[in-house]
């Protein structure tokens, strides 16, 4: 299961990320409301955990924009705004559930899994994006080829997952950087090129080709 965590409190984001990763989930983090919608659209998570008090763009505005853009991902709002009026406002803006801070991590996990089950987006063992014999297993996030899991470093895996989501279509380097290096502002943007170089060699035997489009980004295409 892939979660998008939109939370500007660094301590809270780290705590939630570690907790969910220990429970076998993949977590993408975003601390800025202005970047949240683009990351949401690029990563296509199974569920979103959304704080309301965000820099740049307020969480409710992010949620409203996402729903207006046709994103149906289940959303749980996590916020210190705990009044009934705030909850109603969040639910009316498109949230599926609402948990005021502080909250119990076990209860939060249970609510996330329940929402995803009801939405039908992450049934155990379900297979997602596929291309040239490769497919992403939604439950684990692993990429398989010929029935065997591919041996990829975490950043190579994140890049391949993103590219398999839109094979044959260019994805901007900026978006891929956010997915491969989430929240790592100290990393230089050129680092994505190193990951792409390594991944290109590892998928050469699959019949897929990782193409660099100068000024645009990267795409996957079938080798001719």
Phi, psi of 203 (to 5 degrees): -105, 5
Cα–Cα dist 166/222, whole Å: 13
Query: Cα dihedral angle (120, 125, 126, 127), rounded to 10 degrees?
Result: 160
Same domain for 145 and 115: no
Q: Same domain for 170 and 206?
A: yes
63 vs 69: which has the higher pLDDT: 63
Range of weakest confidence among 76-90, 93-107, 120-134, 166-180: 120-134
> Mean pLDDT across the stretch 205-218?
88
* pLDDT, tens only, 6-43: 998 889 899 998 888 888 888 999 988 888 888 888 88
The pLDDT value recorded for residue 122 is 44
Domain count, the chain: 2
Q: How far apart are CA 68 and CA 90, in angstroms?
A: 15
With H, G, I as helix, E, B as strand and everything else as coil, classify residue 205. helix
* Interhelix angle 191-202/173-180, nearest 10 degrees: 80
Instruction: Say if residue 75 is in the same domain as residue 133.
Output: no
Asked if residue 131 and residue 110 are part of one domain, the reply reads no
Q: Tell me how far apart the alpha carbons of residues 36 and 56 are, in angstroms, rounded to a whole number.
A: 10
Most confident of 106-120, 156-170, 196-210: 196-210
User: Average model confidence (pLDDT) for the chain?
Assistant: 83
Any idea what DSSP says for residue 44?
A: -
Give me the mean pLDDT over the 167-177 stretch.
86
What residues have CB less than 8 Å from 112, skipping those under 6 apart? 1, 3, 47, 49, 76
DSSP letter assigned to residue 121: S
Q: Are residues 96 and 31 located together in one domain of the fold?
A: yes
- Cβ atoms within 10 Å, residue 100: 14
**Model confidence over 100-136: pLDDT tens digits?**
888 888 888 888 988 888 776 544 334 455 667 788 8
pTM listed for this prediction: 0.55
More confident residue, 222 or 76: 76
Q: Are 158 and 189 in a shared domain? A: yes
Q: Which domain holds residue 181?
A: 127-222
CATH code for the domain of 110? 3.40.50.2300
List Cβ neighbours of 169 (8 Å cut-off, separation of 6 or more). 219
3-state DSSP of 73-85: CCEEEEECCCCHH
Q: 29 is written with which tokens?
A: 């983090």
Q: What is the CATH number of the domain that holds 194?
A: 1.10.10.10
Whether residue 166 sits in one domain with residue 106: no
Residue ending a domain, among 119, 135, 168, is 119
Are 158 and 109 within one domain? no
DSSP state, residue 101: S
Confidence at residue 125, expressed as pLDDT on a 0 to 100 scale: 38
């Amino acid at each position: 299961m892939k979660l998008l965590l939109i939370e500007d409190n660094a301590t809270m984001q780290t705590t939630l990320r570690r907790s969910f990763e220990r429970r076998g989930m993949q977590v993408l983090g975003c601390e800025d409301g202005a970047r949240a919608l683009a990351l949401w659209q690029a990563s296509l998570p199974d569920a979103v955990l959304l704080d309301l008090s965000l820099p740049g763009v307020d969480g409710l505005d992010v949620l409203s924009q996402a729903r207006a853009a046709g994103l149906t991902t289940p959303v749980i709002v996590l916020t210190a705004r705990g009044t009934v009026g705030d909850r109603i406002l969040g639910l009316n803006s498109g949230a599926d559930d609402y948990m005021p801070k502080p909250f119990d991590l076990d209860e939060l996990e249970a609510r996330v899994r329940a929402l995803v089950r009801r939405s039908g987006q992450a049934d155990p063992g379900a297979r997602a994006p596929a291309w040239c014999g490769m497919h992403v297993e939604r439950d684990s996030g692993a990429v398989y080829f010929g029935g065997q899991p591919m041996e990829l470093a975490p950043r190579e895996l994140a890049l391949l997952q993103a590219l398999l989501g839109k094979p044959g279509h260019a994805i901007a380097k900026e978006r891929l950087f956010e997915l491969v290096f989430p929240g790592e502002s100290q990393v230089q943007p050129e680092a994505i090129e190193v990951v792409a170089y390594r991944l290109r060699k590892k998928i050469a035997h699959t019949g897929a080709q990782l193409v660099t489009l100068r000024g645009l980004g990267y795409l996957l295409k079938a080798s001719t």
